Amino acid sequence: MINKNIVTALILFIVGSAFVLQDDTLTTDRSNDEIRAEGMSTVSIVSVKGTIGPTVTQYIERGLRKSVEAGDEAFIIELDTPGGLLDSTQDIVQILLGTEHPTVVYVSPRGANAGSAGTFITLAAHIAAMAPATNIGAASPVAMGGGEMDTVAQKKIFSYSESYIESIAEQRGRNAEWARSAVRDGASVTSSEALELNVIDLIADSMEDLLSQIDGMEVEGKVLQTRGAEQNRIPQTLAEIFFSFLLRPEVMLILTLVAIYGIIGEVTNPGGIVPGVTGVIALILLLYGVAAMPINLAGFLLIGLAIILFVAEAFTPAFGLLVSGGAVAFFLGALMLFQDLPDEMQVSLFWLIPATLVTAAFFAWIVTYGVKSFFNPVRTGVESTIGRTATVSDAILPGQPGRVFFDGEYWTAESETPLNEGDTCEIVEFKGLRVIVKPSTAISEDPEKVSQTVQN
């Protein structure tokens, strides 16, 4: 059997390693010092695909820092995103607007999109470029924030978003009026239209074409020398990949289930260790995700109510009503849990419905029987024989032990009531290797007859 301590240590080691390896990067074949010694210029490139979240912010910030340290000509972000979180977008915009190091956002490859949050990020770069057959725009706050808003809140968020994107466009000398329309009207344009409207600076067919076109441009008083520059692609670290996966809504939903199942499994089966440790680790990772993402508190409260209803079913004869109510509360809670996220980050019903059914079945079957087992009579060990009947094999008198027979064994027995050989008695308790019994039926013999039987 596998040692439980080894399993626990392995789980903790794996999770701990993900936290420790926050800034682990793969080594490149050639160092920047060697490249500069050959008289070649360098650029650093990060590739951002998918929704914008906290891990993307960390990835871009780390990439920019390494680009500055390496003395690159420019820092390039290859971008393809449908949108993302407003808080993370603001952090990235602040990073791009706050650096004097030349930054380039390149919407690539063909067919890519800089939607919603991607529009803000593209406009915030020193140089904005797009590949042919790409799109930019549709930056309305509804797409960025998700969920329904009342009239006042909607007016406020639209007003803020319009002024925010306008200030970014003005800072970089781009079309502020179109930027406002991207928020106000959800305007979206192709790469060629974006170039005509002064939304971007150029269209490039490839990374090499981009480096050739920006060669000689002046950024923050520095003339770029990027033609033929060595490309240093910065991959995501193990931690960034792990936490990017962790912050997906469906993964957070699974972590919620694992935390519930693991902790309840440990409570109903004390000493299991592995379920408890797994549940606690899932809970810690879930709390990290909750802290990083705008999770709806009402959703968590509904999930908590669902757990209470599930457990209450084990103690009350509600005939499934509490389980049904808990299933409804869990479904609504999980649905509300991610309602403040952008549409592209909403949890799918293909995940939500099976999770609800599995959870309801788990509590209705496993947990119900597990909790009820605490109140069932003992079925194993010496204690399980309490209340059972035995046959007297040697007469028993008060203060004079005899013997009884049950389960194929003879036991030394004591009783406050005289018992004759062949009488049926009931087991009351055990004292060491002796059993205390009492008559299970009325004894017709008087004490003198019992005494005579014992003497014979």
One of 1.10.10.10, 3.40.50.150, 1.20.140.10, 2.40.50.140 is the CATH number of 382-455, namely: 2.40.50.140
Looking at the predicted structure, is the pLDDT value of residue 268 above 70? no
Residue 345 has pLDDT above 60, yes or no: yes
Residue labelled with tokens 């009325």? 442
Per the CB < 8 A criterion, the answer to whether 323 and 366 are in contact is no
Nearest to 106 by CA among 212, 242, 180, 237: 212
pLDDT at position 289 is 79
* Among 92, 129, 119, residue whose Cα is nearest residue 181: 119
Give the pLDDT of residue 367. 59
Q: Please tell me the distance from the alpha carbon of residue 412 to that of residue 70, in angstroms, as a whole number.
A: 87
| Mean pLDDT on 3-32 | 52
Centroid of chain to Cα 171: 38
Q: Please answer whether residues 44 and 75 qualify as being in contact, where contact means their C-beta atoms are separated by less than 8 angstroms.
A: yes
Return the sign of the alpha-carbon dihedral for residues 56, 57, 60, 61.
negative
Residue entry with tokens 């990374």: 207
Q: What is the pLDDT of residues 130-151, one digit of tens each?
A: 999 999 998 877 544 444 455 6
CATH 1.50.40.10 is held by the domain 37-236: no
List pLDDT tens digits, range 270-305.
777 788 888 889 888 888 877 777 777 788 788 888
Domain residue ranges of the chain, discontinuous segments joined by +:
1-24+238-293, 37-236, 295-376, 382-455
* pLDDT tens digit sequence for 76-92: 999 999 888 888 899 99
For residue range 412-450, what is the model confidence (pLDDT) as tens digits?
999 988 888 888 899 888 887 889 998 886 444 444 444
Span 184-199, average pLDDT: 93
pTM, entire model? 0.68
Q: Extract the tokens encoding 14.
A: 């794996």
The residue among 33 and 189 whose pLDDT is bigger is 189
- Please indicate whether residue 322 or residue 20 has the higher confidence score (pLDDT): 322
Average pLDDT over residues 353-378: 70
Three-state SS string over the chain comes to: CCCHHHHHHHHHHHHHHHHHCCCCCCCCCCCHHHHHHCCCCEEEEEEEECCECHHHHHHHHHHHHHHHHHCCCEEEEEEEECCECHHHHHHHHHHHHCCCCCEEEEECCCCCEEECHHHHHHHHCCEEEECCCCEEECCCHHHHHCCCCCHHHHHHHHHHHHHHHHHHHHHCCCCHHHHHHHHHCCCEEEHHHHHHCCCCCEECCCHHHHHHHHCCCEECCEECCCCCCEEEECCCCHHHHHHHHHCCHHHHHHHHHHHHHHHHHHHHCCCCCHHHHHHHHHHHHHHHHHHHCCCCHHHHHHHHHHHHHHHHHCCCCCCCHHHHHHHHHHHHHHHHHCCCCCHHHCCCHHHHHHHHHHHHHHHHHHHHHHHHHHHCCCCCCHHHHCCCEEEEEECEECCECEEEEECCEEEEEECCCCECCCCEEEEEEEECCEEEEEECCCCCCCHHHHHHHHHC
Query: Is residue 456 very low, low, confident or very high in pLDDT (cuts 50, 70, 90)?
Result: very low
* Region 118-126 average pLDDT: 95
Q: Report pLDDT digits (tens) over 372-424.
A: 665 566 555 666 677 788 889 999 888 889 999 888 888 899 998 888 888 88
In this model, does residue 309 exceed pLDDT 70?
yes
